[in-house]
């Protein structure tokens, strides 16, 4: 008799994290005011949100955290990246 187990919540979260990393790391962003490449510093899946810390190019000191709702669409991610600014008046957490 074969036994099939459903993926654990941790396994589903891992695949979601992997998907976000593959989608976001190294993406070139050009929003008319600036152009930069994203570098993922960390991704944390927690409850109804996924938190993504990313930096601009290789400038680790210039980072921002995206708070993405679950599930997150590509349109949500693009909208979040368009909202990212790396200046003194910008929020360090961008809520989508």
Q: Name the pairing type of β-strands 59-69 and 93-95.
A: parallel
Q: Does residue 4 form part of some domain?
A: no
Q: Does residue 94 form part of some domain?
A: no
Quick one: pLDDT at residue 86? 73
- For a pLDDT cut of 70, what percent of the chain falls above it? 82
pTM of the model: 0.73
* Domain encompassing residue 18: 9-89
Q: Does residue 95 form part of some domain?
A: no
Q: Does residue 56 form part of some domain?
A: yes
Beta carbons within 8 Å of 22's beta carbon, 6+ residues apart: none
> Terminal CA-to-CA distance of the chain, rounded, Å?
46
Ranked by mean pLDDT, the top range of 4-8, 32-36, 87-91 is 32-36
The pLDDT mean for the chain works out to 77
Q: Does residue 96 form part of some domain?
A: no
Residue, of 57 and 11, whose pLDDT is higher? 57
Strand partners, 69: 49
């Amino acid at each position: 008799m074969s036994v099939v187990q459903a993926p654990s919540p941790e396994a589903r979260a891992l695949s979601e994290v992997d998907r976000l990393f593959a989608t976001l790391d190294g993406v070139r962003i050009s929003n008319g005011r600036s152009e930069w490449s994203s570098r993922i510093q960390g991704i944390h899946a927690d409850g109804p949100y996924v938190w993504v810390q990313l930096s601009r190019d290789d400038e680790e000191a210039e980072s921002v955290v995206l708070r993405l709702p679950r599930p997150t669409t590509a349109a949500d991610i693009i909208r979040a990246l368009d909202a990212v600014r790396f200046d003194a008046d910008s929020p360090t957490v961008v809520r989508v």
